[in-house]
Amino acid sequence: MKILVTGAAGFIGSHTSERLAKMGHQVIGIDNFSPYYNIELKELNAKALSEKGIEILRFDLRTDNLVEALPEDLDYIFHFSAHPGISNTSTFEDYFSNNILATKNLIDFVLQCKKTPFIVNIGTSSIYGLEATFPENVVPKPASWYGVTKLAAEQLVLAKSREEKLQSTSLRLYSVYGPRERPDKLYTRLIDCGLNNKPFPLYDGSEKHLRSFTYVQDIVDGIVSVIGKEDIANGEIFNLGTEEESTTATGIETVENLLNTKIEISAKPPRAGDQSRTKANIDKARKLLNYNPTTNLEEGLKAQIAWFRTKFN
């Protein structure tokens, strides 16, 4: 199949692109190489994909002409492109343009294609709000610009399924970590601090936060499981993540044990919109997609540390 991956130079998008190519699909990747974090890291991801025969096009869904740049005979679109996370330096306009406007433009492109591809929208547990422990039929209560705009993007896509103008599904991902994790996220930053004797910024109270830390390859398993189950997945929302909960404090301790070091903590004020608890309820994905994440936290962090040492030390 011919598959488009948006945000293909990013963390999860790059891993998914590799998996799809390994499955024998023709993968076309696009990314706008946003400066939200170090572009050199995205360049490293793009290079790794290029070495596997996957070309990444520099393309901005918000402003570039999709009809001129993209093929109209796609079978699938995996839509990762977004302004991610909770950041005090990001404006509402950043989230709006990257998460809502870009998604609307992508839908407009799909609706004029000669062959309508199946859209897999990549959502987030932040859609649920300050606690994300619920099944997919619970009313969302997002508590951040990120969560609000990702919910809007999700509904833009699913609305077209309800109108029967295309087929789509949305996957809400839980606390993904592993090789290529963004530098602003927990484990890449922890590993950097532990290996390079830097203080780790810890938001007050966050050491008690509970998370479904999910290894990236377990997430990719769930993402690609949609292929071949289009009739089942169309119009549906699925949670993807591990059911195992760990506190941030446990995560810090695990990294310290694996690195055989003590990480200095630099206390920071609480961060608005930060979730207090996420626990992936995956009953629906397990039943309908045969989803079953298996990697425990220590195993996943060993792989992430090995990646970090190779790329940065």
Q: Is the dihedral of CA 184, 142, 237, 67 positive or negative?
A: negative
List of residues 6+ apart from 175 with CB closer than 8 A: 125, 211, 212, 213, 214, 241, 278
| The token pair that represents 297 in the structure block | 């936290």
* Pairing state between β 131-132 and 277-278: parallel
Please say if 187 is a catalytic residue.
no
Residue 140 DSSP code: P
Question: In this structure, are strands 168-173 and 131-132 parallel, antiparallel, or unpaired?
Answer: unpaired
Torsion of CA 277, 283, 284, 290, to 10 degrees: 120
Distance between CA 222 and CA 289 in Å, rounded?
7
Catalytic one of 128, 146, 187, 215 = 146
Q: How far apart are CA 117 and CA 157, in angstroms?
A: 12
List active site positions.
146
